Amino acid sequence: MGDRRYAVSLKRRAILKSGLALLAAGAVGRAAMENDALTSATASIPPEPALPTGWIITVEGPIPAAEAGIMLPHEHVMVDFIGADQVDSSRYDADEVFSAVRPHLERVQALGARTICECTPAWIGRDPELLRRLAAATGLRLVTNTGYYGAGANKYLPAHALTESAGQLAERWIAEWRDGIGQTGIRPGFIKIGVDAGPLSDVHRKLVAAAARAQRATGLTIAAHTGDGIAALEELDVLRAEAAAIERFIWVHAQSEPNPDRLLEAARAGAWVELDGIGHDTLDQHLTLMLAMREAGLLGRVLLSHDAGWYTVGEPGGGAYRGHDTLFTDFIPLLRERGFSQPEIDQLIIHNPAKAFAVERLS
Ligand SMILES: [Zn+2]
């Protein structure tokens, strides 16, 4: 599909160039005729969807959002499920993880992906240096995050997350945006939090409020692992109460909610509905949701990803790594079969994620 778009822009450029050359030669009469031809030729090319403004903050620095290319908004390179009280970078060999992960990133890159959001938060295996190394070796752009993951009954929360206020937690995350993560100089490209199924506990409500405040201060988008639709709609209420931007909120794992009306409600409110977890055994379920979103005219609020990977710290060789490829090998062909057009597919895998993660200001 990159080739098709390239061909369209080349054609446009050729038309413009010939028009300009004629004008420069002073062939006024002919130029006027050509100008008509130019207008009608241009009008026959369908307009491309507007590319987003702003920046995607990768581990190697900001890139224009319009250049992010095909983007996977939710994948993992590495996860450590040991718990926040024991998690530590000494538990794995970064060289081994690098070697294990690299071929999977090269594979998805060969399939067309250009930018991947790595959704592993701090205290559960986030390693920005490892991501930077993988990005440099593969040429794939990787995006890391700030924020805390409360899902899993708070097992992955550091002790201070239970005692500090929403404002104090927000300040920690804002500091990572301002100063970089630890000593790495790497800035987060989004805020990742996690909450269990609703109704939200006090601690999880506090995480959402902290994320809302950090979003207001930084402009970063919030991606929230969310247990179910009740929790998702409560999260939107917290955002409203904090005067944060709902269109900069991603309901992660929305496909797990059994009632599709809740997905439509969140999308109509302006939130991003992320249908991640795409795999061979979910194709029908994801297709059903995509048809419902299209029917409702809400494809402009949908994000697609695998939530796949990952090197599991503590398992021999990192355990079974699920590749980031089913979207390309199976799901997009299935969407095409069911009548999704190329502009719709481009919107889903290029324009929507670029818009969802674009940051308007760099400081
Ligand atoms: Zn995930």
Q: What percent of the chain has pLDDT over 90?
A: 85
On the question of pLDDT at 349 being above 90, the answer is yes
**DSSP readout, 145-173?**
EES-B-TTTTTTS-HHHHHS-HHHHHHHH
Average pLDDT, stretch 192-203? Answer: 98
Average pLDDT, stretch 188-207? Answer: 98
Residue pLDDT, tens place only, 14-59? 333 333 333 333 333 333 334 444 444 444 454 455 667 899 999 9
Q: From the CA of 305, how far away is ligand 1's center (Å)?
A: 10
- Name the residue among 324, 326, 323 with its Cα closest to residue 282: 326
Q: From the CA of 307, how far away is ligand 1's center (Å)?
A: 5
Q: From the CA of 179, how far away is ligand 1's center (Å)?
A: 25
- Name the residue among 60, 191, 188, 56 with its Cα closest to residue 134: 60
Q: What is the pTM of this model?
A: 0.87
User: What is the number of alpha carbons within 13 Å of residue 193 lying toward its C-beta?
Assistant: 31
Here the tokens at position 120 are 């592993």
- Name the residue among 191, 193, 236, 235 with its Cα closest to residue 217: 191
d(CA 117, CA 142): 6
Burial class for 356, CB neighbours closer than 10 Å (0-12, 13-18, 19+)? buried
- Name the residue among 27, 2, 192, 22 with its Cα closest to residue 111: 2
Q: Are 61 and 136 in contact (CB under 8 A)?
A: no
What DSSP element (H or E) covers 249?
strand 249-252
Q: What percent of the chain has pLDDT over 70?
A: 86
Q: From the CA of 321, how far away is ligand 1's center (Å)?
A: 13
Here the tokens at position 165 are 């206020």
Average pLDDT, stretch 78-96? Answer: 98
Average pLDDT, stretch 71-97? Answer: 98
User: What is residue 50's predicted lDDT score, i.e. its pLDDT?
Assistant: 65
**DSSP readout, 312-358?**
ETTSGGGSPPBPS-HIIIIIHHHHHHTT--HHHHHIIIIIHHHHHH-
Here the tokens at position 164 are 């500090």
Place of tokens 């190329």: 342
Average pLDDT, stretch 322-332? Answer: 98
d(CA 76, CA 72): 10
What DSSP element (H or E) covers 83?
none
Q: From the CA of 31, how far away is ligand 1's center (Å)?
A: 57
Question: Which of 42-46, 188-192, 327-331, 342-346 bottoms out in mean pLDDT, i.e. has the lowest?
Answer: 42-46
On the question of pLDDT at 10 being above 80, the answer is no
pLDDT band (50, 70, 90) for residue 363: confident
Q: From the CA of 205, how far away is ligand 1's center (Å)?
A: 20
Cis bond upstream, residue 310 (ω within 30): yes
Q: How many angstroms from the chain centroid is the CA of residue 2?
A: 19
**Which one has a higher pLDDT value, 261 or 8?**
261
What DSSP element (H or E) covers 81?
none
- Report the DSSP beta bridge partners of residue 234: none
pLDDT band (50, 70, 90) for residue 99: very high
DSSP 76: -
User: What is residue 38's predicted lDDT score, i.e. its pLDDT?
Assistant: 41
Residue pLDDT, tens place only, 163-183? 999 999 999 999 999 999 999
Here the tokens at position 274 are 């992320």
- Name the residue among 128, 6, 136, 132 with its Cα closest to residue 69: 6
Here the tokens at position 30 are 């002919």
Q: From the CA of 252, how far away is ligand 1's center (Å)?
A: 8
Average pLDDT, stretch 118-137? Answer: 98
Helix axes 283-295, 260-268, angle to 10 degrees: 50
Q: From the CA of 110, how far away is ligand 1's center (Å)?
A: 22
d(CA 265, CA 259): 11
Q: From the CA of 345, how far away is ligand 1's center (Å)?
A: 22
User: What is residue 78's predicted lDDT score, i.e. its pLDDT?
Assistant: 98
d(CA 261, CA 92): 43
User: What is residue 100's predicted lDDT score, i.e. its pLDDT?
Assistant: 98
Q: From the CA of 49, how far away is ligand 1's center (Å)?
A: 29
Average pLDDT, stretch 134-157? Answer: 98
Average pLDDT, stretch 128-156? Answer: 98
SS3 state of residue 256: helix
Q: What is the mean pLDDT of the chain?
A: 89
d(CA 260, CA 290): 11
